[in-house]
Amino acid sequence: MKDNSAQPQLASDYAYQTLYNKIVSLELSPGDIISPVQLSKELGVSRTPIQKASAKLADDGLLDVLPQRGSYVSQINIDRIYESFYMRNLVEQAAVIKICGLEQRDDICIQLEQNIYNQKKVLERNLYEESFEIDERFHHIIYKSANMLYIEKALAQISADQNRLRKLKILSNIRVDSTLQEHNNILESIRAGKAEEAALNIYKHISKFAEDTIVIHDKYPEYFSNWENTEIKNLKLKKQSFFSF
């Protein structure tokens, strides 16, 4: 007898990934209502996989499920933003320190240099969606070169709100030139094999999330939750065992 038990799981995975991408890409904005009936028709799956996907997205903090009222895309949570950037900051510093200790870095530098060039070109054409993807690849090159792909995957599990914020930054055309310069500074310190300088440049780059968040909040205040209690507005950079904040 044919086993069809895997099919519902495949459908729920498909529904989850589709909804996740729509939310993180801001195709579905914070506050938007999720209609199971409409999604069922759009994705060509039954309502059961939609419900399973919605439950998982609620666990991720991307959906608010309100009894008798329906499901809504959650607001961007400031506490989760801080925690995910904090982790990314420490891990990427460790990654570039590891890369700087490699004897052969030429290929890595070529990849990073090409990435910066590609991002500059798409930004000149105002292709912000492509710019976001290229920005993602810049950091992926760092994780891959440091043999930290498992860590990168783990970080992705807590980075949904961070990615929504980064997407808003790019779509709002915030700090475009300075971001490219920050990427170039990271590249040049890796090229020179200067580990502490590379870590400092990662720290400076990622710590910009605080001022970016403030600017984006001013533009989209309705997208955020827990703003009044955030420490981001008073964030002070400091050096611990790693450069930290």
What CATH number corresponds to the domain at position 52?
Answer: 1.10.10.10
Residue 89 sits in the same domain as residue 40: no
Determine the structural domain holding residue 42 and report its residue range. Answer: 6-74
pLDDT, residue 222, reads: 92
Task: Label residue 179 exposed, middle or buried (CB < 10 Å: 0-12, 13-18, 19+).
Answer: buried
> How many independent structural domains does the chain possess?
2
2: which residues sit within 8 A by CB, 6+ positions away? none
pLDDT, residue 2, reads: 42
pLDDT, residue 9, reads: 59
pLDDT by 10s per residue, the chain, length 245: 444 444 545 888 999 999 999 998 899 999 999 888 888 889 899 888 888 999 999 988 899 988 778 889 999 988 888 888 889 999 999 999 999 999 999 999 999 999 999 999 998 898 877 888 899 999 999 999 999 999 999 998 888 898 898 888 877 877 778 889 999 999 999 999 999 999 999 999 998 888 888 889 889 999 998 787 666 666 555 555 556 65
pLDDT, residue 5, reads: 44
Domain endpoint, select from 34, 50, 74: 74
Residue 166 sits in the same domain as residue 86: yes
Residue 57 sits in the same domain as residue 170: no
Question: What is the pTM (predicted TM-score) of this model?
Answer: 0.81
Residue 97 sits in the same domain as residue 30: no
Give a yes or no: residue 1 inside a domain. no
